[in-house]
Chains A and B, each alone.
Chain A
Amino acid sequence: MGYASTVKMPFGPQHPALKEPEHFLFELDGDTVVGVTPRIGYVHRGIEKALELSTYGHGLYLAERICGICTVAHTCCYTQAIEELMGIEVPPRAKYIRTIMSELERLHSHSLWVGLVAHEAGFDTLFMYAWRDREAILSLFQEITGGRVLHAINTLGGVRRDISPELADKIRCTMEYFEGRVKDYRRIIRTEPTFLKRTRDVGVLKPSDAAKLDAVGPTLRGSGIKEDVRRDDPYIAYDEMPFNVISSDGCDVFARTEVRVEEMMESIGIIRYALDRMPAGVFRVRAPRNAPAGECVSRVEAPRGEDMHFARSDGTAKPERYKVRAPTLANIPALCRMLVGIHVADIPIILAGIDPCFSCMDRMVVVRGGRASGTLQSKRDV
């Protein structure tokens, strides 16, 4: 029975379920998705080229604007790479401040995401609560750095501003409040039947697929694989921080939610630990203008997964080549796997489930000789 042909349904670039412009072409057989073709690249701005044209100091501001949600992760990665090229060692206090900022960012990003996924599940109350609570973190950001969303705290050779003891107390206070809220989210997502019904067994990604398709971040950990750059390849001050790598065996959207909520608890722990043990001393050293010739890869665990930057310098004040591999790009093949065989109504929640951040993702991908696995598209006219 059934019809011989399938129906093609475009999704995006402007779509209520996507906050960013991206296009997916779904092939439907009745209510079931049988094929999906992503068409990425709408947000391609050419940042890599811009980074190559600007000096190291200037590049910092571009790196910050690769993505507005994980700015600290990108600047951490950028500064780390350039500092290694320049051969400067960041003072320990700066490392701690960077760690605290990274974890605050994780809190803000994950709570934002919990809200969005609740919204896609039709549970707007939680969406509103999560976004309300997030404002507490944004106010903290404003007090620490002066900016709510883009912080410009990391700079070559350290950080721009110190965290004073009074500010530390304020952060502790906010953590107290936020911990209560996260516990609340945890209770809600585990017990609320609407949410469970919409997320359990939706968007299944088997551990073998997750590993094979190179998923990263909470998408990978939601499939039961414990991998986290913070533990596997510690950067800034993570080698001194006690924390657990969270994973969940559910392999579905619910598992990914659980991973993120538990990670928020861990982040609060890390922030408290770092605040209590902040080494004294300077928080910034002077960085030279030029970097000697060399190459460097740096990795950080952004809220969405592993973020990787590559820099090559030729001894001048500008990088010769700069490459960014953001976590969402790594998750796209896994996403396409999850999207096959599901119902149309589940598309938005699965898309939201990997926490896509397309502005991070849309780098130029050049595929040489042969097939682009059907998932990567380069800028049309380069």
Chain B
Amino acid sequence: MVVNWARSGSPWLIHFNTGGCNGCDIEFVAAVTPVYDVERFGIKLQGSPRHADILAATGPVTSQIAQSLRRVYDQMPSPKFVVALGTCAVSGAPFRNCYSIQGGIDSVIPVDVYVPGCPPRPEAMIDGIAKLLQRIRGAKK
């Protein structure tokens, strides 16, 4: 469908760190800078959740941030997609048993794509996002 095609053509990304160690964040920013350059796929990093299609979340969800994560997700216009970047975001792994960790991103909001790795390489992140785009394109065909 035209709408899906348009949607997957130039998705806007918003990045939200829910309490990770920054390792994933710098790899994510590396993915938008010249060496990996996701902008060539039309993917653009965005500042405001209200303009974003995809939420790229990194880090385990701390009990302090859970509410903000929810709010950011709620502010995004539908249809919206969530990519969980890093093992922390997938399951909270290294910090899993810490007292202030709720778990992975999916303990608060639904997640569409999981990219494991600590931190995942930028290529893996791009691959995860590309898979999501494929799915959007394939949806309702």
Interface string of B20-51 (1 = CB under 8 A from A): 11111111011001110000000000011100
> Is B23 within 8 A of A149, CB to CB?
yes
Asked if A13 and B94 make an inter-chain contact with CB atoms under 8 angstroms apart, the answer reads: no
Closest CB of chain A to B41's CB: distance in Å? 17
Q: Which of A127-135, A162-170, A284-292 contacts its partner?
A: A127-135
Of B3-11, B64-72, B77-85, which binds chain A? B64-72
The stretch from A15-23, A172-180, A192-200, A227-235 touching chain B is A15-23
B18: chain A residues at CB < 8 Å are 21
- Total contacting residues, chain A, CB less than 8 A: 42
The reply to whether the CB of A150 lies closer than 8 angstroms to some CB of chain B is: yes
A11 part of interface (Cβ distance < 8 Å) = no
Judge whether A46 and B100 touch: CB under 8 Å: yes
| Interface SS, B side | loop
Q: When A45-B100, A131-B29, A150-B118 are in contact, do A65 and B34 touch as well, CB less than 8 Å?
A: no
Complex Cα spacing A61 to B88, Å: 14
- Least Cβ distance of B136 to chain A in Å? 24
From known contacts A43-B65, A46-B99, A150-B119, infer whether A68 and B47 are also in contact, taking CB-CB under 8 Å: no
Where chain A touches its partner, the secondary structure class is loop
Known: A14-B72, A43-B19, A45-B19. A65 touches B94 (CB 8 A): yes
| Given A46-B100, A68-B21, A149-B119; A135-B68 close (CB under 8 Å) | no
B107 touches A (CB below 8 Å): no
Inter-chain contact B98/A135, CB cutoff 8 Å: no
Q: Given contacts A42-B68, A45-B60, A65-B94, is CB(A359)–CB(B26) below 8 Å?
A: no
Q: Is A186 an interface residue (CB 8 A)?
A: no
Given the complex of chains A and B, what is the CA–CA distance between A357 and B17 in angstroms? Answer: 12
**Does residue B121 face the partner (Cβ distance < 8 Å to A)?**
yes
Q: Are A21 and B21 in contact (CB under 8 A)?
A: no
Q: Which chain B residue lies CB-closest to A136?
A: B35
Q: Is the CB of B17 within 8 A of A21?
A: yes
A296 at interface, CB cutoff 8 A: no
Name A residues whose Cβ lies closer than 8 Å to a Cβ of B.
13-16, 19-21, 41-47, 49-50, 53, 61-62, 65-69, 71, 112, 115, 127-128, 131-132, 134-135, 138, 148-150, 357, 359, 379-381
* B interface residues (Cβ-Cβ under 8 A, vs A): 15-27, 29-30, 33-35, 47-49, 59-60, 62-65, 68, 72, 94-95, 97-101, 118-119, 121
Q: Which 8 A-B residue pairings sit nearest by Cβ, starting from the closest?
A: A68-B23, A16-B47, A131-B33, A68-B22, A46-B98, A68-B21, A132-B34, A149-B23
